[in-house]
Amino acid sequence: MVPELILGSWLTIGNGISEKEGFSLMDAALDQGINFFDTADVYNKGGAETQIGIWLKTKSRSQVMVATKAFGQMSDSPLDKGLSLRHLMNACKASLERLQTDYIDLYQCHRYDVDTPLEETCFAMNSLINKGWIRYWGVSQWSAVQITNAVRICEKHNWPKPISNQPIYNMLNRSLETEVMTVCETEGLGLITYSPLAQGLLSGKYSSADVPEGSRAKDPVMGKMFPLKRLTEDNFRIIEQLKQIASDLNVTMSVLCLAWLLRKKPVSGVIFGATKLEQLTENCKASGLIFANDVFEKIESILSNHPKDQYTGNLVGHGIIQKGY
């Protein structure tokens, strides 16, 4: 069981904002009912985990869930990356030390490792669970085939199966709907999606290629990862139309985008980042917000980007029922 909204830490906690601001954000999140915090070892090379760990020591551990990830290179050594048994054991131990905790609630494969046999990765996760270092394991940005293969391997050996997938998903990036979303529901993996606002592009702040002052794209730290390629006239046209829908519903763009994602089965929760308390408070309004069907239809007509079959051009993806040929 996870909350609909999950506080992420990429580019923010331990990096783009001060320690005091990070602690205030996490305190406020917990007060709002957000008891799930997502991070990764590569976020500021352990900086995010370290700050979360300091904060976590002041809380009741059993009442807070922490998810972290491993895969990315943590040093110049070629041994210090990937999903091998050796690296996952070392990486998990290091994450536990930074987080100042005895266990990790959800340990995720940050990406798929083509250099390590999948069976070895599944065995490593089984070993970490048996050691008591992690409670559950999941994946991030894996394909439908990779997820299915991992589930079959775990079933064959009676190892714990992955319980979650953390893919990118937002109104401008819907590739998840093509195959992965259905496979996750079929195989019993919950989806905790990230980048719901396309790193702020869907927040409504951006209306042209001119980046506004005070935005994430303008920030010297966080702006380095901003998807400038999405600053297109087509996207600005979409955003302006979405703003009108948000205005008609008397909600902000952020709330509209988050609520749209939360109504997509089998999405379990949506990870969002924040740099200010006002942003966190505003985003929490998306939880429990229900739209009428005609609102979804209007949004679909504006986006006009639902995945399509490569042969027929028909809409495909989760929730689309194909009839005949």
Residues with active-site annotation: 43
Report the b/e string of 107-126 with b at 16+ CB within 10 A: bbbbbbbeebebebbbbbbb
Q: Cβ distance 170 to 198 under 8 Å? A: yes
How far apart are alpha carbons 188 and 261 in whole angstroms?
A: 19
Residues in the chain: 325
**E strands, 142-246, where?**
164-165, 190-193
User: 271 near 34, Cβ under 8 Å?
Assistant: no
Q: How far is CA 125 from the centre of its chain?
A: 20
The answer to whether residues 37 and 301 touch, using CB atoms and an 8 Å cutoff, is no
66-75: string of b/e by CB count within 10 Å (b at 16+)? Answer: bbbbbbbebe
- The Cα diameter of the chain in Å comes to 59
Three-state SS string over 179-199 comes to: CHHHHHHHHCCEEEEECCCCC
Give the C-alpha separation, 11 to 219, whole Å. 10
Local structure of 105: helix, strand or coil: strand
User: Could you count the other beta carbons within 10 Å of the beta carbon of residue 281?
Assistant: 14
In angstroms, the CA 48 to CA 43 distance is 6
Three-class secondary structure of residue 56 per DSSP = helix
- The SS3 assignment for 62 reads helix
